[in-house]
């Protein structure tokens, strides 16, 4: 049972552009929504996270938009850089148990 659906599977963006990754969840009991960045051969690293009582959170070039009624949330990467090329996972959490999306492989072309 896929509880968190992520799209697209892969994304190519030009340097300086905006990267947008979308996720949808089913279980309304989730109370924490993090995004992780993973480079090849490495473990996932926490990028940014949001709780469902907030509609938007911004940290530097990274912004999460959260729509509780639609059970959707998205990651926006502004001014995308080649160093942002990685796989990104959204997740939904309850009691620190994460359900991950399938991942998005992001490539930033110079």
Element of type H or E holding 56:
strand 56-59
Confirm or reject binding of residue 54 to other proteins (CB under 8 A).
Answer: no
Stretch that binds other proteins, among 11-19, 54-62, 70-78, 98-106 (CB under 8 A): 98-106
The DSSP 8-state label assigned to residue 75 in this structure reads E
- Nearest distance in Å: CB 79, other proteins: 26
List binders of other proteins among 9-48 (CB under 8 A): 31-32, 34, 36, 41-46
Residue 15 to residue 107: CA distance in whole angstroms: 9
| Length, in residues, of the chain | 110
* Contact present, 100 and 4 (Cβ < 8 Å): yes
Binding site for other proteins (CB under 8 A): 6, 31-32, 34, 36, 41-46, 49, 51, 89, 91, 93, 95-103
């Amino acid at each position: 049972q896929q509880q968190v659906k992520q799209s697209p599977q892969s994304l190519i963006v030009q340097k300086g552009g905006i990267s947008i990754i979308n996720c949808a969840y089913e279980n309304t009991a989730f109370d924490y929504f993090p995004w992780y960045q993973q480079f090849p051969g490495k473990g996932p690293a926490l990028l940014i996270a949001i709780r469902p009582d907030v509609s938007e959170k911004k940290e530097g070039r990274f912004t999460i938009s959260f729509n509780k009624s639609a059970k959707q949330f998205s990651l926006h990467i502004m001014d995308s850089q080649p160093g942002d090329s990685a796989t990104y996972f959204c997740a939904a959490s309850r009691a620190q148990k994460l359900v991950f999306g399938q991942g998005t492989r992001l490539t930033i072309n110079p």
